[in-house]
Chain A
Amino acid sequence: MALAAICKSNFSSKSSLFGLPSNKEVFEQESEDCFAIPTAPQAAAYLSHLNNPESNVHIKFHHGTTTLAFKFNHGVVVATDSRATAGSYIASQTVKKVIEINPYLLGTMAGGAADCSFWERVLAKQCRVYELRNKERISVAAASKVLANMVYNYKGMGLSMGTMICGWDKRGPGLYYVDSDGQRLNGSMFAVGSGATYAYGVMDAGYAEDMSVKDALELGKRAIYHATHRDAYSGGYVNLYHMKETGWEHISWTDVKDLHYAYKNEKK
C-alpha cells in the first residue's frame, strides 16, 4: 500500500483488503467480495457528494419499505411488503425482500435493494465457509456480526442497508438488526423502513411472548397490511416466513388487496 504510506493515513488499518473484517483468521479475506475504495486519504469525505441531496450527483436509491420480525416462544416471524419505489414512481410490486441466506438464516431487505442483496449473498458465502471450517453452524450473533463488520468498512461511503438477521441456533431463536451506519442490535421485535411506525403500532398491540404460531403469523401479516395501507411507499404483497428450530418455512405471499377486503369483512 505505497500510496497509503505516502499519504500517511491510517487508511490501511481499517482493512487491508477492503470490505471484509480485519480479523484475518476468523474470516479469510478474498478480493472478489469487496469493492475498491477510492485511494484517497479520506475515502468517506471524497464520496460524500454522492450522498448529499443538494449535490449535482446525488444517487437516488430505491427506498421505502416495511419489513418486520419478532421473536416469540415458537421461533421468529418475518414479514415484509414487496414494493420498490424511485421517488414517487412505483418501480415494482413484486420484490422479494426476504433473503434466504441458508436453510436456518434469513435476512430482510430495507434501503438499497442492491446493497442488501449483494452483502447478504456475501454473508451467505462466509457462513458456509465458517460451517465447513468449524464443523458446526454459525450462530446468529456471529453471522450478524460478520455482516456488521463488513459494511462498517464502507461507513460514510453511501451504502444504504437496514436489515434484520433472523435464525435459530443452539441458543434458541435469534434476531439482530444490522444497518449500514454500523448499528447492530439484539432484540425481540424490530420493524424497519418507511412503514415501520405503522407496523410497530399493530405489533405492539397484539404481541404476547406465548402466542400460538397461528396468532403470531396473523399478527405479522396484519402489521404489514396496516403499514401498506397508510404508507405510500409500501404495498404489493405480504411475504411471510416462520423461523423454526428446524429452519425457516415460507408461509405465504398474499396480495395486500385481498387482505384489505378480508379484514373489512371481518369487522362486519
Chain B
Amino acid sequence: MSRYDRAITVFSPDGHLFQVEYAQEAVKKGSTAVGVRGKDIVVLGVEKKSVAQLQEERTVRKICTIDDHVCMAFAGLTADARVIVNKARIECQSHRLTVEDPVTVEYITRYIATVKQRYTQSNGRRPFGLSALIVGFDDDGSPHLYQTDPSGTYHAWKANAIGRSAKTVREFLEENYNADIATNDVETVKLTIKALLEVVQSGSKSMEIAVMRRNHPLQVNFSAEVEKVVAEIEKQKEEEAEKKQKKMKKSS
C-alpha cells in the first residue's frame, strides 16, 4: 500500500489516491469550523485554539473575507489556506474586471475547487491540506454555503461542519436545523453557537463567530458578544433541565 502514496499522480490498484486521503486526515486534525445558511443571514463559527501566554491573539485568523459579499472559514493547514485565500481574492477582483459583475458564491467555490484539483493531478506537488466553508450572497440576494475538500470536490449545504469532531457537530446540526430557524437571524446564530459548544471545550472564550447579512460586510463577533449568547443558551439549558426534574418528581 505504501508504494502508492509517494507520487500524488499515481492511483493505487483499488482506485485510491492516497495523498488526497492523507490530506483529508490532516483536515480532520484541524480545529472545527461550522457554517449555517439562513434565509437572510449566513453564519460561520470556528473553534479558536488556545494561544500561548505571550502570543497576540488577533494574528490567528480563521475566518477570511474573499470579497465584500463572500467569506470563508477553513479547517486544516493554515499556511495552505493562506495560499488559497490569496488566489481566491485575486480571482474575485479579476472576475469583477473581466465580467463587470461580482462573483457568485458558486463561481468562486468552483474556482477554489479547481485549484485544489489541479494540485492532485500534477507531478511533484502535494494536495492542499484544507477543507473550506465558503459563504456569501449572490448578486440576486440568494444566500449560499459551500464546502470544498482537498480532492477538489465541492457541494452546497444548508449547514455543515469540518475539522475535528465534524461528524458530531454535523449530527447535531441534522437533528436541530429546520426551516423555521433559518428564517430567524438570531436563531441561526444561536444554532451555530450551540453546534460549536458540542465540541469546544472551554465555552465562549474559544469560539469566534462571524455573521454576514445581505448587502452588509462581514461582522466578526468577539468573545464578549458571543459570551452573552452562550450565557443565554446556558440559561435555557438550565431551565429545561429544571422542567425535566419537575416532571420526573411528579411522575414518581
Which residues of A line the B interface, CB within 8 A? 21, 23, 25-27, 134, 139, 141-142, 145-146, 149
Contacts and interface: CB of A to CB of B under 8 A. Distances in A.
Contacts of B111: 25
B101 A21 contact: no
Given A25-B111, A134-B107, A145 B100 contact: yes
Contacts of A145: 98-100
Interface string B101-119: 1001001000100100000
Nearest to A26: B98
Max chain A CB contacts within 10 Å: which of B94, B99, B100, B101? B99
B95 interface: yes
Contacts of A26: 94-95, 98-99
B185 interface: no
Prevailing SS type, chain B contact patch = helix
B91 interface: yes
A21 B107 contact: no
A27 to B, nearest CB: 8
Contacts, number: 30
B95 to A, nearest CB: 6
Interface of B: 91, 94-95, 97-101, 104, 107, 111, 114
B99 A141 contact: yes
Contacts of A23: 94, 97-98
Nearest to B87: A25
Contacts of B98: 21, 23, 26-27, 142, 145-146, 149
A139 B95 CA distance: 13
A142 B91 contact: no
Given A25-B111, A134-B107, A142 B100 contact: yes
B154 to A, nearest CB: 14
